[in-house]
Structure 1
């Protein structure tokens, strides 16, 4: 069984955070006696720093207990560092990518990895991606854009051109939605996270990016958010409005099938609908391990799509 959506923080990255604790405003907070410390960076999106995030031996042990034979590791979104100067995000990207590459290269049958990039500077991001691929990484994980730029903006052209040239996986993972209406009952995580994916995925689909970069392997987290469920509305808009259809050569439902999606949906009915909408060859097993809302072990095990994407 493969797992395309799982996270890890190498020891060198923890050391980097401690060395730059004041620069990135990192805090370790003990919230409950029966839980590990929470890590909070720049007062955003704190999370429990479970031992499975940082202990390589425990991670492999948990992987084996769950019956997972190969994991695609990703950096965690909390450490993308997009809200800091590019020198900071470049530095942690370099450390993170080197550490993951060293670990996966030493254990290639069980592990492979994606890196992170300083997305605020697309040319630098392209160079860091290139270095990561050369080191053995399969691509990168990025957020759904920046506060002032959607991923379809020309601003990101240098990054996507390089990712297309390298035939890299670009795993798009949401960050917490900052909509003030969601600041209650865990809604930033429950619906804000898939909502951010929905916005990004819809924008990329309607931009025609897959025609522009045909070798690009875009993978959406959490089953593509709410987009697959509302594809009929996009198709109707395609028929009705030139603003929707101008950059597309076919209805949106056809473009939906040209991206990849993980199976992190917590519902077999939802997963069945996704597979029916995009095709079995576009859905990969994922868990989001070891975050609280992980699906562990992952649902699904499509070997053919796994090998074609890797």
Structure 2
């Protein structure tokens, strides 16, 4: 069984955060006796620093117990560091990518991994992606944009040109939505996270970007947000409005089948609908382990999507 949406923090990365805690405004706080400390970066995205996030042996032990034979491991979004100067982000990127690459090299049959990059500086991000893939990483995990810049903007062209050349996996993972209407009842995580994916995925699809960069393997977190469920509305807009159709060579539903999606949906009917909508070769098993809302163990599905994403030979 595969798990292609899971996160880890190598010990070297945690040491870097501790060494630079004043600059990145890192805070550790124990909120309950039965919980691990919560780590917050820059007063924004706090999360429980569970032992499974940082203990390599325990992570592999839990992976084996869950029946997961191979994981695609990603850095955590809370450590993207996009709101810091480039030199800070680049320094952490170097530590994160090298340490996770070393871990993968030691456990190649059980692990693959993605890099983190300095997305706020696309030319630098392109260089970092190149170096990371030379280390054996499969691509990069990135956020849904920077400030007012959407990923389809020409601002990100240097990065996506390099990702296309390298045929990289680009896993687009949202950060918590900052819509003020959602500042209650855990809605930033419950609906804000998939909403960020929905906005990003819809913009990428309608921009025609996938025709410009056909070799980039874009993976959307959390089942693509709300986009698969509303694809009929996009197809109708494509019939009616030139602003929707002008950049596309086919209806939006056809483009929907050119991305990959994980199964972090917590509902079998939703997973079944996603597979029916985009095809089983475009859906990959994922867990979001070890975050609180993880689907653990991940639901086993047909392996065609994982094989196509990771370029595994079908057996």
TM-score (norm 1): 0.99
1:129 aligns with 2:143: no
8 Å contact kept, 1:75–1:141: yes
* Structure 1 residue 308: Cα displacement: 1.8
What do residues 194-216 of structure 1 show as CA deviations (whole Å, max 9, x unaligned)? 00000000000001111101111
CA deviation vs aligned residue, 1:157-207 (integer Å, no higher than 9, x gap):
000000000000000000000000101100000000000000000000001
Which residues of structure 2 form unaligned runs of 5+? 311-315
Is contact 1:3-1:286 (8 Å) kept?
yes
SS at 2:6 equivalent: strand
**Length, aligned pairs only:** 310
Q: Secondary structure at the match of 1:45?
A: coil
Q: Does residue 254 in structure 1 map to residue 254 in structure 2?
A: yes
Residue 76, structure 1, aligned to residue 100, structure 2: no
CA displacement, residues 231-268 of structure 1 (integer Å, 9 cap, x when unaligned): 01101110111000000000000000000000100000
What is the distance in 1 between the residues matched to 2:301 and 2:226?
Answer: 23
Counterpart residue number, 2:90:
90
Give, in whole Å, the separation in 2 of the partners of 1:27 and 1:40. Answer: 5
Aligned to 1:159: 159
Alignment partners' CA distance in 2, 1:305 and 1:36: 35
- Aligned ranges 1:108-147 → 2 under 5 Å: 108-147=108-147
Alpha-carbon separation, structure 2, partners of 1:10 and 1:257: 34
The 1-side partners of 2:79 and 2:271 are apart by 29
Give, in whole Å, the separation in 2 of the partners of 1:173 and 1:129: 16
Do 2:70 and 2:109's aligned partners in 1 also have CA atoms closer than 8 Å?
yes
Answer yes or no: is 1:273 the counterpart of 2:276: no
In the TM superposition, residue 299 of structure 1 has moved relative to its aligned partner by 1.4
CA distance in 1, matches of 2:242, 2:159: 28
Q: Is the 8 A contact 1:284 1:300 kept in 2?
A: no
Give runs of ≥4 in structure 1 deviating > 2 Å: 300-305
Cross-structure match for 1:182: 182
1:298 is aligned to: 298
Deviation at 1:47, TM superposition (A): 0.3
What is the distance in 2 between the residues matched to 1:221 and 1:160? 19
Q: CA deviation at 1:302?
A: 2.5
Q: What residue number does 1:193 align with?
A: 193
| Residue 300 of structure 1: how far off its partner (Å) | 2.9
**Structure-2 residue corresponding to 1:205:** 205
Gaps (5+ residues) in structure 1? none
For residues 76-106 of structure 1, the C-alpha deviation after alignment (integer angstroms, 9 at most, x for no partner) is 0000000000111111111000001000011
Equivalence for 2:225: 225
How far did residue 148 of structure 1 move?
2.0
Alignment root-mean-square deviation, CA: 0.6
Length-normalised TM-score, structure 2: 0.98
SS in 1 for 2:45: strand
Is the 2:177–2:193 Cα contact (8 Å) retained in structure 1? Answer: yes
- Residues 4 and 262 in structure 1, CA contact (< 8 A), matched pair in contact too: yes
1:306 Cα shift? 1.2
Check conservation: 2:4, 2:287, Cα contact below 8 A.
yes
